Every structure is written in C-alpha cells, then in structure tokens.
Chain A
Amino acid sequence: MFEDLLKLEAEQRGMPGLTYLLVEHPLGGIRPDAVRAKAHAAVDALEAALLGNR
C-alpha cells in the first residue's frame, strides 16, 4: 500500500536503487499471531536480500 510512497521518498532523497522489504498492510490492529507471521516472513525476505538470493 505504501510502496509507491517509499519509491517516491527514496528517489527524492537520492536513493533510487534503495533495496527494500515489503510487509503487507496492515501491521496495526491485527492479532499477535498475524504479526508474528508477517515478522517471520520479513526475516526470510531480509535474509534473501542480504545474501543476494532475491
């Protein structure tokens, strides 16, 4: 939901190629198990990005 805002901010701040992770909206107002699931998924994506396995 906020990806296009992220891209705009990154471009305008001189980081057009910024590597980023996307976590599906929303993060607020959801059950703890859903938060944990999103967090685990984000960690997996972060690992892949850092190791170049996109």
Chain B
Amino acid sequence: MTARTRPAETFELPADPVEFSRECQRRGWSDGLPLIPPTAERVAAMVTASGREPLELIGVLSPRQGMATVEAIAANAVMAGCEPRQFSVLLAAVQAVADPRFNHDGINATTHPCGIFVLASGPKAREAGIHGGTGCFGPGFQANVSIGRALRLVMLNIAGASPGVGDRATQATPAKLAFCATEREDASPWPPFHTTRGFAAGDSCVTVWACEGPHNIQEHGSNTAEGILLTIAGAMGQAGSNNILAGGEPVLCLGPEHAATIASGGYSREDIQQYVFEHARYPVDRLSPEFLEMVRDRMQGGEGEREIDGTIGIIERPEELHVIVAGGVGKHSCWMPTFGGMTRPVTVAIR
C-alpha cells in the first residue's frame, strides 16, 4: 500500500446480474449495458493475473481526481466482461490515458465527441485475443469490446466522466462505448506501427488516441497508389474535423487491399504521411471569415502553422499522421480525426 492509495470500498448489491445492472445504472456506475458483478473473488483473480500489487497507483484521473489503482481498474474490468489475460492490456491503456500528453482532463470535459482508441500491438495483444481483421471495429470480438468498454467504465467510475457532468460531449459517439483493436501485421506491407513509436517489432505495447469513431473511406475505382491516396486525402482534408481547427495527430487505418495497392506503387509509410500532409488540405475561401480568423489565431498562438497557399492542412508535419493497417477484405479504409493538437497519442509498454 502506498501513502496515497487505499483499498477499494465494497458494497452489498444484488447478486442477480439483471438487478445488479439496474442498481449500477441507478447509481451512475454503468455505460447502459448489463454488467458483471465485480465480486471480491473475480477482482482478485484479475489482479493476480496482472502480477501487480492491488494498490499500485496507475494514474490519477480527472475530473474526480480518482485514484486508478490496479484493484479499482480490475473491478471495472470484471464489470466490462474482461478476461484476466486481457487485464495487462487495460492497465497499459489506463497508464497511457493518465499521461499528461494525452490530456484526458480536456478529453473528458470537452463538448467534442472523443472516444479513446486503444491500439494494442505485439505478442501480448495476440495473447489477449484482440482482433485486427474483418470487422475489427465492430461487434463480435470479446477482447476488443471488453477492453474498450472497461476503459470507458474506468473513465466513468474512477475519473468521474459521467455524461452531462464530467463528460460534456454534445452528442458523443458510439466510439465512447468501446474502441479497441490490433493491427493486421500479417497484411501490412510496412513495419508494425509500434516500431514508429520507438518499440521493437517483438515488443508489446498500447497506443491511445482521443479521437472520433472511424470515418469510412471507400475507394472502389482507383487501381493505383496515387488514385487511392487522392481519395484518402480528399476525405481527410474536410472542414468539420478538429484537425482542421487545431492540428494534431490523426489516424489513417488502411484496409489491407488499399494498403497492398499503395505499397505496390512504391509508397512507404513515410511517403503516405508526406502525401497526406501535402494533399489533405481545405481551401480557406470555403471557410467562413470568422472561423478562418479563429484558426489563424490559434496557429499564431502556437498551435502550429498549417496554412499553405490558400489551404489549411490537418497536420503540421507529415509525421503527425499515424498509419496503421487493419480490417479484412474490401476496398475500404478509414480515418479517425482527433481532438486536435490539445491531445497527443501516448504509447506504453504492456507489462
């Protein structure tokens, strides 16, 4: 036990899952879906699987200044339906979210619809059963949904990011429910994404972004790298994202078919980043004068210079675009706009 942490408080609640879930909903502890009761035995099993001490502090989470101990996180992991083999991934994700660079204070409080995208990489992601193939951002994959959901429950129950109080998202997004996947390393023409974050290919780590849900980019017509990239840049260089407003580090998730075609044209990941930097831009004359003034004020205030030749780019530097490969068959890719330069992705090793 550290000087700052203490054992989690216990409550007597109905054992019946339906009644338990209803009671949690009444108390504001729920994401609206049925929950698994976090009995002492289940929480202990989760903690034991991690090899960590139950009162180890992973992070202090705002707005409640909640103490995210291993034990407290474990309770939320049980509630979400996580298996013990997945818990170390969740711990890494919480640690990454608590990093000041991620700015979870702002993410939780903003009116912007910020989900937290958890990209788990390496052997421990595979051991946890996280899926990166067909349908990876949708329903049906226990590891993906449970880990993503558990992270949201941590935000609700430990951080205090309750809708309408600590979470002021105007409309929010389904991506707030659960948003977790792994990369299709077997289908990627390029080195695994986490090698761009300073890790070796055989390492296990988690990267988190504060971002919207996937914006689909369908491209069924082009059969060249340039053709597909032209569409991708057109989809990303749009007016309504926070990346046009405030820069940042968005994610481009290429489906394997698009990735293969782009790679066949000789494009490396760095080439894709450069292309999007140059072409994912929006004409200033298609923005209202007052909006353009606000964007320019923010850039002059230090948010980064993104205006070039009468256009505003979504990133300040090519390396601020993060390119991953995931999904199954089909000529679809997607991108995830982020909350802007006010948040940065954070990568943490899975212990």
Residues of A participating in the B interface, judged by any CB pair closer than 8 Å: 1-2, 4-5, 8-9, 12-13
Measured between C-beta atoms, what is the minimum distance from B329 to chain A in Å?
43
Whether B165 lies near A9 (C-beta < 8 A) is no
Measured between C-beta atoms, what is the minimum distance from B156 to chain A in Å?
14
User: Which residue in chain A gives the minimum CB-CB distance to B64?
Assistant: A12
Q: List 22 A-B contacts (CB under 8 A).
A: A1-B168, A2-B109, A2-B168, A4-B165, A5-B63, A5-B109, A5-B165, A5-B166, A5-B168, A8-B63, A8-B64, A8-B160, A8-B165, A8-B166, A9-B62, A9-B63, A12-B62, A12-B63, A12-B64, A12-B65, A12-B160, A13-B65
CB contacts (< 8 Å) of A5 on chain B: these are: 63, 109, 165-166, 168
CB contacts (< 8 Å) of B109 on chain A: these are: 2, 5
Residues of B participating in the A interface, judged by any CB pair closer than 8 Å: 62-65, 109, 160, 165-166, 168
Q: How far is the CA of A37 from the CA of B65 in the complex (A)?
A: 35
- What is the number of contacts between chain A and chain B, taking CB atoms within 8 Å? 22
> Which of B62, B63, B64, B166 has the most C-beta atoms of chain A within 10 angstroms of its own C-beta?
B63
User: Which residue in chain B gives the minimum CB-CB distance to A12?
Assistant: B65
> Which of A1, A2, A5, A13 has the most C-beta atoms of chain B within 10 angstroms of its own C-beta?
A5
Pick the 5 closest A-B CB pairs, nearest first: A12-B65, A9-B63, A8-B63, A12-B64, A4-B165
User: Which residue in chain A gives the minimum CB-CB distance to B161?
Assistant: A5
CB contacts (< 8 Å) of B166 on chain A: these are: 5, 8
Measured between C-beta atoms, what is the minimum distance from B313 to chain A in Å?
22
Measured between C-beta atoms, what is the minimum distance from B301 to chain A in Å?
15
Q: How far is the CA of A13 from the CA of B65 in the complex (A)?
A: 7
Measured between C-beta atoms, what is the minimum distance from A7 to chain B in Å?
10
